[in-house]
Amino acid sequence: MTRGNVKAEQINNQCDVLRDFGEILSKNEMADILTAHFRDTVYRNGCVFGAYNGVKYCIYFKNVSYLGAPHPLFKKRIQIGENFKEIYEDNEAQGVQTLLVGVYRYGDVLLFVDFDAEGYAKRKAHNSSAHVYTLDLRNGLQFGLFQKKDANENTITVFTTQNVERYLQSKTGGTADLRFGFIKILDEFYTSLPKYWHGISAYREMMDAGFNNALQSEWPGFYHEFKLEQYIGSHAVSGFIQYRQNKKKGEIDLDLFFPVEDAYGDLKAHSNGSGGIQGNDWDTVMNIVEHRSVFYIVCNHDTEPDREHGHEVTVFWNTQLHKKHLHSYAEKMKNSVSLTSYCVLEINRFNKQYLKIFRQGHNADGKPRKPKISISNRDIGNFLIHQMIF
């Protein structure tokens, strides 16, 4: 075992994040670790071979290590060699399933990271990296087994030595669902949700239902909130996700609560044309994440401005509010949105350092508005725990 040459983020056995040199294991060291924890396996020809539930498998393995400067310190990778595609195709021809596994060790922490072997085998490039983040490793250690889809739709599974059999069952049996409970619910919600929203139709639907924020100017965000509140109310999911908005002074002004995770959350509708994702009041979020996570549920969409559609939504909205000036808010009003994806972001006390401060300027009376958090596109990987592309 050798050490890396840059102090990057590491995970200790208390699930704390610290900065230290990473451990780089030799090929034989990794082989010994894998054969010790994957039962009835053998090491030959640079891979580990075994069988589970009658399915033969081959583990192609690499170190999980820091990606290197100038990349952020939370970003790690395995380096996939030029021989991977050939090994994958040979295994496929012999009816052997290829598993692409990274080995992460820091002190007495040992984690395995599975990457979608098929996805990387089908790429044109022979030599490439597969990425994993600090948050993924921490969730894998904390929960024993953690799975997500990253921004490129790659499925990543992080698991401890105690969960090797559960991992193998998911890879060879095809029946295990490894997602968080509330993420399963959100996947079902977004699958059922119409992917095209028109402003007038959305306003009418919210008004007909008596939704208290039916006539807000930024209707996509409130329609998103309205539809999820409806879904929660009509499905027996309160054990996993609850709508808990509270605007009273001194209360936590976030939309959602997740009982199993003992965490708060909020909904965001995010236009793909904008920059990073804006969040809630800086102090509110910082106070919560000292003790628990905050999950942002972000619905990403392409936007059609109303000015390109004769200001039809603007006129409808102003008419409903009985305004004399029917083109009030005309330049900012959205005509329609087309949903492209949704993602779940987790903020905790370890990755909060990567949040940016968004200053909102001043109120009409000249007093400064409270700053909000912001997540830049560059850092989003260290907050992302799930994504579904529509």
- H or E segment and range at residue 147: strand 145-149
Query: Looking at per-residue confidence, does 365 or 328 come out higher?
Result: 328
pLDDT in tens, 292-348: 999 999 999 999 999 999 999 999 999 999 999 999 999 999 999 999 999 999 999
Q: How far apart are CA 159 and CA 164, in angstroms?
A: 7
Eight-state DSSP code of residue 82: T
pLDDT beyond 60 at 88: yes
**For 374-383, what is the mean pLDDT?**
88
The lowest-confidence range among 37-51, 163-177, 267-281, 361-375 is: 361-375
Burial status of residue 224 (CB atoms within 10 A of its CB: 0-12, 13-18, 19 or more)? buried
- H or E segment and range at residue 140: helix 134-143
Query: Looking at per-residue confidence, does 179 or 384 come out higher?
Result: 384
Q: How far apart are CA 257 and CA 206, in angstroms?
A: 23
**For 125-138, what is the mean pLDDT?**
83
pLDDT in tens, 248-300: 555 677 989 999 999 999 999 999 988 789 888 999 899 999 999 999 999 99
Query: Looking at per-residue confidence, does 15 or 124 come out higher?
Result: 15
pLDDT in tens, 19-40: 999 999 999 999 999 999 999 9
State pTM to two decimals: 0.84
Q: How many residues can be counted in the chain?
A: 390
pLDDT beyond 70 at 104: yes
For β-strands 47-52 and 42-44, DSSP reports them as antiparallel
- At residue 284, the 3 state secondary structure works out as helix
Residue 99 forms beta bridges with which residues? 59
Using pLDDT thresholds of 50, 70 and 90, give the confidence band for residue 246: low
